[in-house]
Chains A and B, each alone.
Chain A
Amino acid sequence: MVRGSRLWSWLFVALVLFYLYAPILVIVVFSFTTSPRLSLPIEGLTLDWYGRAFADPLIPMALKNSAILATISAVGGGIAGAAFAFGLVMLRNGRLRASLLSISMLPAIVPLLVIGIALAVFFSTIALPQGLIGAAIGHVLVSLPFVILTMNARLESFDFSILEAARDLGATRFQAFRDITLPLIRPSVVGAALLAAALSLDEFVVTWFNIGSQQTVPTLVWGLMRRGIDPSINAIATLLLALLVCLVVASNLLNRRKS
């Protein structure tokens, strides 16, 4: 009986995993097949779709824009989020600290649609033309809560008495930051920045409302799909997937490393 119920549990786990990953698997597999339609059996394997994807002049441009936005998110979100989280854990007032943390999490809960529209309206009020700048501001905004959350988790275990120890031994505030704080939190900051880059790379809604005539990879793919499914979209999605997996795995590894 026990054996049977365990079998059922495993079957259920397998089912959930299949549900989670089957669509992704399909895209990856069909980005390498010769048939232009998603059909079985697979006739042959090819890298043609990847070549086709890069032949389209729009795609390298969208990739460039995505890379720019991801970099701005990583640097801007990483630095601002880390500084904010650092200030947060130094607060002595526990209730204030908890409420500030909750408030900073709010953008992660507010629907992206609301954020996207609000930003678009705001930018038009201050007469900022739609484009990369507005999109970049949106991306940093969207990634900040996640950066703050990961940094906060890491800093909760940070022993602040070692900063006092450094001061006591003759270090100025700056020297203590340079010699002690920075080397200890750098892996976490970089990890959080990679997470911000990953969030930026597949951000669609806020981008769509603010980027104007420019394209990022997600908005471009969306545009291409309105003309019909082309296997070169599978190729782009697979590349994006590989990049995102790398970023998230690197981010996790850096955050898990003990300091």
Chain B
Amino acid sequence: MTTQAVQVVGLSKRFGAMTALEQIDFEIADGEFVSLLGASGCGKSTLLRIISGFERPSAGRVVIYGEDLTDRLPERRPTNLVFQRGALFPHMSVRENVGYGLRLRGWQRTRINARVDEMLALVRLEELGDRDPTQLSGGQAQRVALARALAAEPRVLLLDEPLSALDLKLRQQMQLELRAIQKRLGATFVFVTHDQTEALVMSDRIAIMNAGRIEQYGTPRDIYRRPGSIFVSDFVGATNLFRGHVTQVSEAGTTLQTDIGSVALDRTEPGLQTGQRIALSVRPEAIRIARGAGSPGGRQVAATIAEIVYQGSSIRLRAVVADGPSIWVECRDDEAEGIAPGDAVNLTWADSAATLLRES
């Protein structure tokens, strides 16, 4: 059995009448990179602050490497936090910032210097040790904050949206760098973000949070391919949701009546009943587009192109079903060669690309 780095058991947090976290249970394995992903106000930062010790839970426990630390002060926890805007000490140089935690531990000056050098090399800032934090760019400041947090060798590193203030290019570069550093150190990282791409790119597992609960916890591929709820399928990546109900369930498959008409699926799912309200989620890039009206029925949907959005490497097309909703399709530019608004097209997708979700 793998060691659990972090175990959160029955955790709830209330601020007055407001419930920020509701019965959270989850585990993070040793050496794992886990993202807490959700919109602002979903409770992800509160959860991180409880793990770091800055907030006390209203109920539940936080166990880190087998030790119950729920009542432990932040300064006595084996966790370190990288703050959203770095939170570097403005009156200390970069080196002093990185070495501060080690100084508190009473390390010898030479030992601190060696460790600071090592950390600055890790984040590739060897040259900037003597600068003041005010002389750093946003990306450099976040690297220093990372070096400072890692210097004390935390058993779990917590990161609270550390890249959110950076521009896109730098953010993408830092995502890969962070991931590489985590791999090299074999450390456990818990990363809070509202950016789904960031979570997909970096994580071993993602916990999708919504309204104080964890909606789904799984690998990026799992989350993207097999979203467990309508919320998850909509929040992670773009998707088409066709709402309706189940008309027939048999060994051979399932038939649905949705807002794009009747749809057949070659599979059934446990507990599915006739009449049940469902939504079918199909990713835009899973939909194939063919010109012409095609044969009616089957697993094709006839639609009319309403809008074409050029995105450079790909294009997005909005197709409208008669009396029905819009369907977004994403494909390579050459796959949609010659298609223009007003054209009648046929949309198809593999059954396996369609996810059946129950309406709650």
* Chain A residues proximal to chain B, CB less than 8 Å: 159, 161-162, 164-172, 175, 179-180, 183-184, 259
Contact = CB atoms under 8 A, between A and B. Distances in A.
Contact of B75 (A162, A171, A259): A171
Contacts of B148: 165, 169
Given A159-B87, A164-B74, A165-B87, 9 more contacts: A164-B87, A165-B145, A165-B148, A167-B75, A169-B148, A170-B76, A170-B104, A171-B100, A175-B104
Contact of A166 (B84, B100, B149): B100
Residues of A contacting B: mostly? helix
A167 B54 CA distance: 9
A119 B317 CA distance: 80
Interface of B: 52, 54, 73-76, 79-81, 83-85, 87-91, 100-101, 104-105, 145, 148-149, 152
A170 B101 contact: yes
A234 to B, nearest CB: 45
Contacts of B101: 169-170
A259 B148 CA distance: 20
Query: Which of B85, B90, B145, B148: most chain A CB closer than 10 A?
Result: B90
B71 to A, nearest CB: 15
Contacts of B149: 168-169
A259 to B, nearest CB: 6
Query: Which of A165, A179, A180, A183: most chain B CB closer than 10 A?
Result: A165
A180 B89 contact: yes
Closest 9 CB pairs between A and B? A169-B101, A165-B87, A161-B87, A170-B104, A162-B87, A168-B81, A167-B74, A170-B75, A167-B75
Contacts of A170: 75-76, 101, 104-105, 152
B80 A169 contact: yes
Contacts of B52: 168
Contacts of B88: 162, 165
Contact of A169 (B54, B73, B91, B152): B152
B90 A165 contact: no
15 contacts: A161-B85, A161-B87, A162-B87, A162-B88, A162-B89, A164-B87, A165-B87, A167-B73, A167-B74, A168-B81, A168-B149, A169-B152, A170-B75, A171-B100, A172-B75
Contacts of B91: 180, 183-184, 259
Nearest to A163: B87
A257 B83 CA distance: 26
A165 B330 CA distance: 44
A169 B89 CA distance: 12
A170 B78 CA distance: 9
Contacts of A184: 90-91
Contacts of B104: 169-171, 175
Contacts of B79: 168
B146 to A, nearest CB: 12
Nearest to B151: A169
A165 B81 contact: yes
A1 B261 CA distance: 79
Contacts of A180: 89, 91
Contacts of B85: 159, 161
A226 B212 CA distance: 75
A183 B100 CA distance: 15
Contacts of B80: 168-169
